Structure 1
Amino acid sequence: MSLLAILLAYSLERSVTLSRNFHWRRIVLRWQQWQSKQTQMGRDGQGKIAEWRQHLLGDVVWAVLPALIIVFVVALFDSLLLSFAVGVLALLATMQCGQARQAYRAYLAAASDGDTAGAAEQLRQLRRAAGRHDAAPVHELLLWIHLRYYFAPLLYYVLFGIFGVLIYATLRDMRHHHNASWRKLQFVLHWLPTRVMTAGFLMVGNFSKALPVWLNSIGNKPQHNLEALGKVAAAADDLEQRHEDDITSTALTTVALVKRNLLFFIVLLAVLTIIGWF
């Protein structure tokens, strides 16, 4: 049933436009905004909650409450059909990245037309969609977007079910304080998806060249997840521009790589399901 939920969710994500009100990011942000308003109104007990939320742990616990409520209700009914339906909806709600898809298509169109300024603007939009503030190259942005909105939700759903995908998406999308503790939490949250996703690059790309780079990414010296993604992908496939005036080749090769990689893991899940390991 989990494999069927994944396949259905990925198919619907391509063909169905989900209202923004049902995007998990919108739900989490509204939840946090509601609590902030309650605190400002000075309701009983809200001051203590606001004080508690000043700490990272309190902020995270409060943000994940909607996910915990959903998981509790599903567990309470103990229905396979309900779990399947909620699993599909959870995956669909957490995989919404329309802004990134639009920016990517506009980037290709502008680059094909020779509109350098337009391509640069769409690259900035991709950077915003990826949640990056640094001037990362286009292939790193596309890899990071795919990891956060497609691969990581799939992996956490496979490992922990509805609970895993909703908790991951909450920690990915919630408002937070920019500090060292939050950056460390994000590093830990994306460490496993990054290493599993790049392990797939070995299978669908240049194995012998990418293997040493992948092993280095899981070595004793911690590597930034984005850096590890970019290095292993570049080793697994040729991401360099084919011509000096062709700035779309890197983006197209990157997207082709992640599509092959996703298909590889879908097939792997199907095989594991058939032999009874999943």
Structure 2
Amino acid sequence: MDTRFLETFLAVAESGSVAAAARRLNLTAAGVAQRLRALEAEIGVPLLKRAGRSLAPTPAGARIAARAPELLVQLRDLAALATADALAGELRLGAVPTAIIGLLPDMMTAMRERHPRIEIRIVPGRSEELFARVAEGALDAALIVQPPFEIPKSCGWAMLRREPLIVLAPGRLAGAEPLHLLSAEPFIRYDEASWGGQLASAYLRRRRIRPREAFELVTLDAIAVLVDRGLGVSLVPDWAPPWPEGLSLARLPVPDAPVRCMGLAWGRASPRIRLIEALAGQAMAG
């Protein structure tokens, strides 16, 4: 049995949707559906059924879903033990969107050159959910925003990049006073549910700025596009390039700017710790 098919089934069972599972796994919906058909054909019974607008496990699917997470962890641990004398095996690495575009490509290139037998599987997501999956052992490591709480001793952390908050404004406002823009112009809020967004909201409260809210978005690239179109200004981290091309933007520093720290989190007890250490070393080498 291909473990990727089992992981795909779990993603659909947990999210209730092929589309949601496809986003989580960075696959097409057709690719998810193909894996599900292959798994059901191998097992010989339906594993999912339609429940209104969602998909839910059948009784057989529910039994498999209850055992599968533990089984997948054991299989990955077994592979790590088999390659204990060499840097080889699979690493499941979570990453936020800006890290996938800005930090990960160079890191992956260097890892492939130095450790070609390490296979890295990328799981996109938000910092909050990715850190939780690292803590529970579902992911080996994750490139995320530093949590706003003390990292438990069961997890390691390496800080890779400091990103001060800036006011992002249309290019025509490059000479404007940034704090004035935050209260005078329509405001595009960086989602407060995200750890980076919480930094921005705390700064606004500390400065007693009440912006004229127009939108709230979690994707920084999307915020940049709206700002370029003149739909408002935003308070965001000065994230790692590349930024969207063809945009006219002013990146204005603010006084006493809070800093979003990007880094690598991992589980210290993972049987793949040697692979994780190789990844962390490469990440910190830059």
Output the TM-score relative to the length of structure 1: 0.30
**Greater C-alpha Rg:** 2
Q: From the two aligned structures, give the one with the greater helix fraction.
A: 1
Task: Pick the structure with more strand per residue.
Answer: 2
